[in-house]
Amino acid sequence: MRSNVNTIEEFIKSENINAEILRFKGKVISVDMASKVSGFPKDKIIKTLIVIADGKPYAILLSGDKMLDYGKLRKLLKCKKVRLARREEVMKVTGFDVGEVSPLSPSLEHIPKVADSNILSKDIVLIGGGSHYALIKIRTEELIRAISPVIADVSK
């Protein structure tokens, strides 16, 4: 069986994205764990949250030291209800478990993406690598180029 990391690696190559996959022996399933094993500060670890807004999935990229502001996101998306996707919804929509989601995946190409404007101030960041044992090191400008998200203030 092919792993999600292999799929992401192929996607990075096929889309000519300048990024490096970092593999770890221990699990990196939270921002705290990712910061500890990588040495990167929490604000340079970008989490990809899957939310459901009026029944439609969105991928939200947020700095690890920030929280999602649901009010700001609701206003941006012009929707009535926004909630964090449940684990089974994340798996169904993305093919990833919670803590594995990578914005650099073909399974997220059809999902609208929103990147919190706060991440633009970061030079190099870590994002999900498609496994509890991998992260991707990438320049923020390259990430934005690769996934073309809407940029907006959606954090608190």
Tell me which CATH code domain 4-152 carries.
3.90.960.10
What is the pTM assigned to this prediction?
Answer: 0.94
Contacts with 13 (C-beta within 8 Å, 6 or more apart), sequence order: none
Confidence tier at 2 by pLDDT (50, 70, 90): very low
Question: Tell me, what amino acid is at 154?
Answer: V
Contacts with 82 (C-beta within 8 Å, 6 or more apart), sequence order: 51, 52, 53, 54, 70, 73, 74
Task: Give tens-digit pLDDT for 24-48.
Answer: 998 898 999 999 999 999 999 999 9
What are the sequence ranges of the domains in the chain? 4-152
The angle at the Cα of 143, spanning 138 to 146, to the nearest 5 degrees, equals: 130
What pLDDT, on a 0 to 100 scale, did the predictor assign at position 1? 36
64-85 residues labelled b (16+ CB within 10 A) or e (exposed) = bebebbbebbbebbebeebeeb
Task: Give tens-digit pLDDT for 93-104.
Answer: 999 999 899 999
Task: Give tens-digit pLDDT for 106-145.
Answer: 999 999 999 999 999 999 999 999 999 999 999 999 999 9
Question: Tell me, what amino acid is at 135?
Answer: L
Query: Has residue 3 got a pLDDT over 80?
Result: no
Q: Are strands 150-152 and 124-128 parallel, antiparallel or unpaired?
A: unpaired
Closest C-alpha among 114, 94, 103 to residue 136 = 103
